[in-house]
Structure formats: structure tokens, C-alpha cells
């Protein structure tokens, strides 16, 4: 269930759609001059300097499919929703600049619960200098859904596609593999034990690292900066979300 850190509960219906949007987004700063018109109009207006191309990617997170609020704090969920999208832009050797966030919410969520969600979104935006420039809200009959669209830029010659690999290319991975999945298995195990015994107190001692990788992943934007500083241009890149073998297959297939 969505946690409420305070006894106060404000019903979403008391604010209305536009009042809720303003309440949740009023503290988001603008980091980029390109964000000419952000939240508050019918569309965002972006103006990039000449010579840059625009990259756009979107992800949808559904309660019960991509996350479980029994063990996923809303604060972490907001952060993760942004992080996984930024990673898609980084996988093209580009820099993310703006996001749009749309949410579907059932009436079991309070304004305070959504404040926690957007606190996590704002934390990710502040850490990676991302502008929140728009989005939408809607009622939902099936829990919580979050859709994040990310916009990035790069010079054409710096963009790396997954279809550029060659025979005998060196395969490099920016981090270790399997930690997030291990964290998921641990969280699912603890939930199952708790459901069988409500007096059970989950103990995640010694599992902080892998659980953290599941709840709060970090996009490897540092590698994009590293490539630029070292003048490294990979032949192909891809974001690993389903395992190394499957992603290498995608690279090989795209590079035929």
C-alpha cells in the first residue's frame, strides 16, 4: 500500500487536475536554456543551438507488473522512473535534458502519497540536471501507472546506435550484472515470508547493495562524460535491462 508518512490525508479530488499538477511540480527548477516553455501551457517549447539532434525515449511502469508497493517506497519509485529513462538516452551516447511525466492514479492515493513520488522524481532531476517540462494526470481503476518521456541532445557524429558493431569488437559492460535482479528476488522472498507470517520483520542486513540496485538504480551518465573526455567513440551501445546475452543478440541482429 502507498505509505503515508503523516497522519494528514488530502484527497486528490479536493485540488482538481490542474491544481494537483501545480502543487506537485511548482518546486522543480529549470536547468537548461533550451527549455523555453515548460509546465503551464498546452505544449513545451524547446530551442536547441544549431548542429544538435534530438533524441526521445519513453517508458511505462505499471503497478503489479514493474513494481510492487509492498516493498517499493514511492520516493524510490519516483527516482527510479526517471533513472531508467535517462539510461536509454545514455545508451545512445547522448545527454538527457528534459522529461515529461504522466501518471494514472486510483483514489486510494492521497496528495501526500503523490508528494513522496514527486519528491523522488525531483531528486533525480536535481542530481542529473533534468528539467521537468510537462506531463499529464488521469484517474485509474487499476492502481498506479507512471509514464516518463525523456528528451536528450547530441551532435550527429557522436550518437551511437546499437547497429554499428563489427566482428572482433571488444564487448565492454559499464557495471556488474545481476545485482538488481538479486535484489528483486530478496524483496520478493521477504514479502512472501511476511504474507505467511504477519509478525515477521524483514531483515535486509548484508543485502543493502543489491536491494539498493533494484530500488534506486543510477543511469551511467558518467560514462558519456568519460567517453567525451577520452575521445572514445564506441561502435555500438545498448542499455542492458533483460540480461547480457539478450542485449548482445539485439546488437548482433541490428548490426547484420
Question: Fold for domain 12-159?
Answer: 60s Ribosomal Protein L30; Chain: A; (3.30.1330)
Assess contact for 191 and 70: CB atoms under 8 A. yes
pLDDT-derived band at 248, boundaries 50, 70, 90? very high
The percent of residues above 90 in pLDDT, for the chain, comes to: 65
What average pLDDT does the segment 57-67 reach? 93
Three-state DSSP state, 150: strand
Give CA 70 to chain center in angstroms.
19
Residue 16 has a pLDDT of: 79
Residues 87-104 have pLDDT tens digits of 999 999 999 999 999 999
pTM of the model: 0.86
Query: How would you list the strands of the sheet with 95-105, edge to edge?
Result: 53-62, 145-154, 95-105, 131-139
Residue extents of the structural domains in the chain? 12-159, 179-214
Helix 16-25 × helix 111-128 angle, to 10°: 40
Residues 241, 125, 158: CA angle, nearest 5 degrees: 60
Q: What is the largest CA-CA distance in the chain?
A: 61
Query: Nearest 5°: phi and psi at 254?
Result: -70, -25
Question: Which of 109, 99, 88, 82 is CA-nearest to residue 20?
Answer: 109
Residues 101-152 have pLDDT tens digits of 999 999 999 999 999 999 999 999 999 999 999 999 999 988 999 999 999 9
Strand partners, 35: 46
What average pLDDT does the segment 4-26 reach? 79
Residue 76 has a pLDDT of: 98
pLDDT-derived band at 30, boundaries 50, 70, 90? confident
- Mean pLDDT of all residues in the chain? 90
Convert 139-169 to b/e letters by CB count within 10 Å (16 or more is b).
ebeebbbbbbbbbbbbeeebebbbeebeeee
Residues 63-81 have pLDDT tens digits of 999 999 999 999 999 999 9
Of 36 and 177, the structure prediction assigns the larger pLDDT to 177
Amino acid at each position: 500500500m502507498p505509505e503515508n508518512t503523516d497522519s494528514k490525508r488530502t484527497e486528490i479530488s479536493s485540488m482538481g487536475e490542474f491544481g494537483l499538477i501545480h502543487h506537485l511540480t511548482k518546486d522543480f527548477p529549470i536547468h537548461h536554456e533550451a527549455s523555453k516553455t515548460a509546465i503551464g501551457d498546452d505544449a513545451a517549447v524547446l530551442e536547441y543551438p544549431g548542429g544538435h539532434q534530438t533524441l526521445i525515449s519513453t517508458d511505462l511502469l505499471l503497478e503489479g507488473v514493474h513494481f510492487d508497493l509492498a516493498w517499493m517506497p514511492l520516493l524510490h519509485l519516483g527516482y527510479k522512473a526517471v533513472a531508467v529513462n535517462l539510461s536509454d538516452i545514455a545508451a545512445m551516447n547522448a545527454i538527457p535534458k528534459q522529461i515529461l511525466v504522466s501518471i494514472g492514479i486510483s483514489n486510494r492515493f492521497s496528495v501526500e502519497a503523490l508528494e513522496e513520488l514527486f519528491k523522488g522524481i525531483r531528486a533525480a532531476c536535481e542530481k542529473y540536471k533534468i528539467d521537468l517540462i510537462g506531463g499529464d494526470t488521469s484517474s485509474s481503476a487499476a492502481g498506479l501507472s507512471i509514464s516518463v518521456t525523456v528528451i536528450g541532445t547530441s551532435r550527429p557524429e557522436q550518437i551511437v546506435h546499437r547497429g554499428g558493431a563489427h566482428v572482433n569488437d571488444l564487448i565492454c559492460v559499464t557495471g556488474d550484472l545481476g545485482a538488481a535482479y538479486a535484489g528483486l528476488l530478496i524483496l520478493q522472498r521477504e514479502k512472501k515470508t511476511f504474507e505467511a507470517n504477519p509478525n515477521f520483520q524483514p531483515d535486509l542486513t548484508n543485502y543493502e547493495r543489491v536491494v539498493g540496485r533494484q530500488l534506486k538504480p543510477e543511469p551511467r551518465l558518467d560514462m558519456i562524460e568519460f567517453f567525451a573526455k577520452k575521445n572514445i567513440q564506441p561502435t555500438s551501445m545498448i542499455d542492458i535491462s533483460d540480461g547480457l546475452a539478450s542485449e548482445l543478440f539485439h546488437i548482433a541482429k541490428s548490426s547484420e
